[in-house]
Structure 1
Amino acid sequence: MVARMAVLVMAAFTAGCVASSADKGAAVVTGSTSGSSYADSPAASSTDAIKPARTATAEAANEARLATAAGTPGSDGYRVGALDVLTINVFKVDDLNKTVQVSESGKFSFPLIGEVQASGKTVSEIEKTIGSQLETNYLRNPQVTVLVKEYNSHRITVEGAVKKPGVFPMQGPMSMLQAIASSGGVNEDSDGTLLLFRKVDGRTGVVRYSMNDLRQQKTEDPDLQPGDIVMVPSSDLKVGMRYLLQTAPLARSFLLL
């Protein structure tokens, strides 16, 4: 598990570009898949870096909120995926009120109209598809409502010093503390540091949080996105990272644990 966490940290490290906040609260660290570093160039740190250094916890927390896309479960822009469960209601036509699961191929079967493509579409788009096909041959002005009952296609990963590390489905909106709770809580060898790994528009980023600050509401508990990785470093990993930071100058620009 320590080796797996080290790989995650090094993956973001080799992307190498930083924006950090004050010691309290969240420290934002952004990266680029290009592998270039901005740390050792004064000009780059002031003008070319992806994000400027943070001077307040509120700014760092706001940066994390802005990175959350509309595709998060529970949002209007959520796009249905394979294995999601949908509840479909057609007003005043009880025989067409169904609960269906999207297949691995991204489709589901619906009475009268057959297979419906769902994967990659919003619930509004699915409503229009069903309504249009029903109206063509069967009903006059059908009123169709589609809701996501289970978000099984989107998952987050919790690794490191937690009791039950693993991959967890996002059954609606999920915050970082909720993800930690789903994994059974942190182990004794954790000091409460939490690392949130996220990819946005091809760029890799890491945000460091303090569990105590989240619990005491000093820092806003961030909503997670599908594909996010929450890593809880253990004491062994932190010792290794300190050694790395002391021996590799570039590492000092990435993340101080």
Structure 2
Amino acid sequence: MRPCRAFRVAAACLCLLLVAACSSNSRNVRAVTTGEALPPPDTTNAAGAYEGASEYRLGASDLIEISVFGVDELNRTTRVNSNGQISLPLVGAVIAGGKTVPELETELTRRYAEGFLQDPQVTVFVKEFSSQRITLEGALKKPGIYPLTGRTTLLQAIAIAEGLDPLADLRGVVLFRQIDGQKLAAVYDMRELRSGRVEDPQLFGDDIIVVETSGSKTALRRFIETVPVLGFFWRPYY
């Protein structure tokens, strides 16, 4: 066995032992190998769940503008209701929640073509994104809650928050996600992400990113120090 391979195997074994020591319920450990995507979050079909797609999916409270070329009377600006529906002239209630913009355009085109219009051309534009959001907390220049308007990675999200605070711990970037009914967490090192040695994970609605402050003594700090940054995605017990 080559020395570098032996080191990786030993490191992985050590990490498993550390995780097991933190909790007797070690079956909750979820390993993610380098180059493999993190598991997507729990999804529903009701109101704009991503379901693994890279494009933004409409959901409750999104404000959308619908235009039918040449038929101004059908143009509408409407908000998706809590059931994921919109109501339009002629076609009535339409399920918009869970659909991408092209999918909704295709559906509306089909509806209007069924006995109402000949070769309709429907355009959908999202004016306000409300349903898919991520939370960025901690040592960031501009922490807050931000909408997801398309495929967004962890590095891109940090850029949206205007980057890390000068006191940020580069090794202390934690991504929290709900998977299979459990709150799981992964620890990332910004230097590894920036260099491309670790996959920059895609984010999903309701993800929470916390950047720890260097030298802090919080429960999150103890969690970070317990789990080496080796690509593990697991349930925190702090």
Per the shorter chain, which TM-score range? 0.5 to 0.7
Correspondence 1:62 to 2:36: yes
Alignment of 1:57-96 (within 5 A): 59-64=33-38, 66-67=39-40, 71=50, 75=54, 79-86=57-64, 88=66, 90=68, 93-95=70-72
The match for 1:154 is 132
Q: Cα gap change, 1:138/1:225 in structure 2, threshold over 3 Å: closer, same or farther?
A: same
Correspondence 1:195 to 2:167: no
> Does the CA contact (< 8 Å) of 2:37 and 2:199 recur in 1?
no
> Does the CA contact (< 8 Å) of 2:34 and 2:198 recur in 1?
no
> Does the CA contact (< 8 Å) of 1:155 and 1:226 recur in 2?
yes
SS in 2 for 1:213: helix
- Structure 1 residue runs without a partner (length 5+): 1-21, 23-28, 30-37, 246-250
Correspondence 1:231 to 2:231: no
TM-score between both structures, scaled by the size of structure 1: 0.61
Q: Partners of 2:205 and 2:34 in 1: how far apart?
A: 20
- Give CA-to-partner distance per residue, 1:36-90, whole Å, 9 cap, x none: xx72499975xx45435x6xxxx145142x43788179736x5421232445455
Q: Partners of 1:49 and 1:117 in 2: how far apart?
A: 36
SS in 1 for 2:183: strand
The match for 1:167 is 145
Shift of 1:194: 0.9
The match for 2:5 is none
> Does the CA contact (< 8 Å) of 2:137 and 2:209 recur in 1?
yes
> Does the CA contact (< 8 Å) of 2:61 and 2:130 recur in 1?
yes
The match for 1:216 is 195
SS in 2 for 1:233: strand
> Does the CA contact (< 8 Å) of 2:66 and 2:123 recur in 1?
yes
- Structure 1 window deviating more from structure 2 (222-231 vs 144-153): it is 144-153
Q: Cα gap change, 1:186/1:113 in structure 2, threshold over 3 Å: closer, same or farther?
A: same
Structure whose residues are more often helix by fraction: 1
Q: Partners of 1:244 and 1:194 in 2: how far apart?
A: 13
SS in 2 for 1:134: helix
The match for 1:25 is none
Q: Partners of 1:204 and 1:126 in 2: how far apart?
A: 32
- Structure 2 residue runs without a partner (length 5+): 1-7, 9-14, 44-48, 230-238
Q: Cα gap change, 1:84/1:40 in structure 2, threshold over 3 Å: closer, same or farther?
A: same
Equivalent position to 1:255, from 220, 224, 227: 227
Residue identity over aligned pairs, in percent, reads: 35
> Does the CA contact (< 8 Å) of 1:83 and 1:101 recur in 2?
no
Q: Partners of 2:143 and 2:179 in 1: how far apart?
A: 24
Shift of 1:229: 0.4
What is the alpha-carbon root mean square deviation over aligned residues?
4.0
Structure whose residues are more often strand by fraction: 2
> Does the CA contact (< 8 Å) of 2:63 and 2:78 recur in 1?
yes
The match for 1:51 is 30
Shift of 1:153: 1.4
Q: Partners of 2:78 and 2:156 in 1: how far apart?
A: 25
Shift of 1:138: 1.4
> Does the CA contact (< 8 Å) of 2:168 and 2:212 recur in 1?
yes
